[in-house]
């Protein structure tokens, strides 16, 4: 009944995967086979699942992916040496270091050791800086995925009021920058914001990235608002859910992304997009 209100990550990512596969075929015909190297340190179960998903996605689009699995005891120097080697390897177009890293390794130093031209996660200071000043960059995968969903659903945010809840470096901040670049009027809320509902009720689009089940409820949005739900949580029944009270909101919003089957899939597909872009750039 509410099907037309859903912005389906399954649908959007399927469309993008066709485009990506076509680009891979074109690159291959010119002698360039896009390749992603994924480094994982330790055996964090969630990280192992994410990495497995990344390899599966690559295979689906005919992107080569190799897995560099390192023991928890790996030192920062050893990890930096491996990254340096991958930076120099011309057959590798994208490098991804799965986060979080073990506590004895400084994430900032490791991420910034990646050649920005191979930084397909878009986390290096160079890419973040370029994104902020509107230069060509690898946009971080989850924020770009949110923008792709709005585009696909025909939601033009130019001149619209967009409220982002969450200000993390991987979601809230970058998605705010991307929305601003599309000429939205952006308000960023976080844990110290007073009366968030007062702000979200004025929003045309609410992007929620907090990490709390049912954080965004129907009384917090105006009739016809668009909701992009970035959250990935487990409810008391162990079921995957987002930050939005989907059942409460669906009758009131004009569009909403589901969880599962929403932004998460867009994050995955944007890694493929960035890897292909890195291969295209390397060819130039
Ligand atoms: P994070 O680093 O923990 O950031 C959460 C943000 O929410 C912070 O800015 C925090 O504010 C804010 N916040 C926490 N409690 C709040 C409250 N009561 N009121 C207002 N703001 C509050 O999390 P994240 O990495 O951004 O991820 C957010 C959610 O998205 C998580 O569920 C995560 O699993 C999910 N996620 C999904 C994807 C995907 O692909 N779909 C990708 C990444 C993350 P302060 O800054 O003031 O602490």
| Range 232-246 average pLDDT | 96
Q: Of 50, 98, 171, which is best to mutate to test ligand 1, by the most ligand atoms within 8 angstroms of its C-beta?
A: 171
224 band by pLDDT with thresholds 50, 70 and 90: very high
72 band by pLDDT with thresholds 50, 70 and 90: very high
List Cα–Cα distances, 249 to 17, 111, 214, 244, in angstroms: 30, 38, 10, 8
Helix (H, G, I), strand (E, B) or coil at 132: helix
**Domain membership flag for residue 130:** no
Residues 62, 166 within the same domain: no
Residues 146, 253 within the same domain: yes
Catalytic residue among 54, 160, 173, 277: 54
CATH number at residue 99: 3.40.50.10860
**Domain membership flag for residue 42:** yes
Residues 259, 150 within the same domain: yes
Residues 98, 180 within the same domain: no
| Range 121-127 average pLDDT | 98
**Domain membership flag for residue 107:** yes
Residues 169, 258 within the same domain: yes
**Domain membership flag for residue 24:** no
Q: Which ligand 1 atom lies nearest to the CA of residue 210?
A: 7
% of the chain residues with pLDDT over 70: 100
252 is catalytic: no
Does the structure show a pLDDT above 70 at 79? yes
Q: Is residue 192 within 6 Å of ligand 1 at its C-beta? A: yes
284 band by pLDDT with thresholds 50, 70 and 90: confident
121 is catalytic: yes
Tell me how far the alpha carbon of residue 151 lies from the centroid of ligand 1, in angstroms: 23
Q: How many domains does the chain have?
A: 2
CATH number at residue 158: 3.40.50.720
Residues 164, 87 within the same domain: no
Q: Is residue 76 within 6 Å of ligand 1 at its C-beta? A: no
Tell me how far the alpha carbon of residue 63 lies from the centroid of ligand 1, in angstroms: 31
Q: Which ligand 1 atom lies nearest to the CA of residue 267?
A: 40
The model's pLDDT over 137-188, given as tens digits with 9 standing for 90+, comes to 999 999 999 999 999 999 999 999 999 999 999 999 999 999 999 999 999 9
1 band by pLDDT with thresholds 50, 70 and 90: low
Q: Is residue 164 within 6 Å of ligand 1 at its C-beta? A: no
Confidence at residue 2, expressed as pLDDT on a 0 to 100 scale = 87
**Domain membership flag for residue 1:** no
Residues 147, 90 within the same domain: no
The domain boundary, picked from 116, 150, 176, lies at 116
Q: Cis omega before residue 260 (within 30°)?
A: yes
Catalytic residue among 5, 35, 57, 98: 98
Please give the mean pLDDT across all residues of the chain. 97
Structural domain boundaries enclosing 181: 141-264
The model's pLDDT over 94-123, given as tens digits with 9 standing for 90+, comes to 999 999 999 999 999 999 999 999 999 999
**Domain membership flag for residue 274:** no
Residues 190, 88 within the same domain: no
Yes or no: say if 58 and 267 are a contact pair by the CB < 8 Å rule: no
CA 64 to chain centre: 20
Residues 165, 111 within the same domain: no
Q: Is residue 185 within 6 Å of ligand 1 at its C-beta? A: no
**Domain membership flag for residue 125:** no
Residues 169, 75 within the same domain: no
Alpha carbon distance 161, 177 (integer Å)? 14
Give pTM, 2 decimals: 0.97
236-241, long-range: CB < 8 A, 24+ apart: 241/213, 241/214
Does the structure show a pLDDT above 90 at 66? yes
């Amino acid at each position: 009944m509410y099907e037309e209100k859903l912005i389906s990550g399954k649908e959007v990512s399927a469309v993008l995967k066709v485009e990506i596969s076509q680009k891979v075929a074109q690159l291959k015909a010119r002698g360039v086979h896009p390749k992603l190297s994924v480094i994982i340190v330790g055996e964090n179960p969630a990280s192992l699942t994410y990495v497995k998903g990344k390899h599966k996605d690559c295979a689906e689009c005919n992107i080569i992916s190799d897995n560099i699995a390192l023991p928890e005891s790996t030192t920062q120097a050893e990890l930096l040496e491996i990254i340096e080697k991958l930076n120099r390897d011309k057959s590798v177009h994208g490098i991804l270091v799965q986060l979080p890293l073990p506590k004895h390794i400084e994430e900032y130093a490791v991420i910034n050791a990646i050649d920005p031209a191979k930084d397909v996660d878009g986390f290096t200071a160079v890419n973040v800086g370029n994104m902020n000043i509107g230069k060509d960059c690898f946009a971080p995968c989850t924020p770009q995925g949110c923008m792709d969903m709005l585009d696909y659903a025909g939601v033009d945010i130019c001149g619209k009021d967009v409220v982002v809840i969450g200000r993390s470096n991987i979601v809230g901040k970058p998605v705010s920058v991307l929305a601003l670049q599309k000429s939205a009027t952006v308000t960023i809320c976080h844990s110290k914001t007073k009366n968030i509902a007062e702000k979200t009720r004025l929003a045309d689009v609410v992007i929620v990235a907090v990490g709390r089940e049912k954080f965004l409820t129907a009384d917090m949005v105006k009739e016809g608002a668009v909701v992009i739900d970035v959250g990935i949580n487990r409810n008391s029944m162990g079921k995957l859910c987002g930050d939005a009270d989907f059942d409460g909101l669906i009758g009131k919003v004009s569009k909403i992304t589901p969880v599962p089957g929403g932004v998460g899939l867009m994050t995955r597909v944007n890694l493929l997009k960035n890897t292909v872009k890195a291969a295209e750039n390397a060819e130039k």
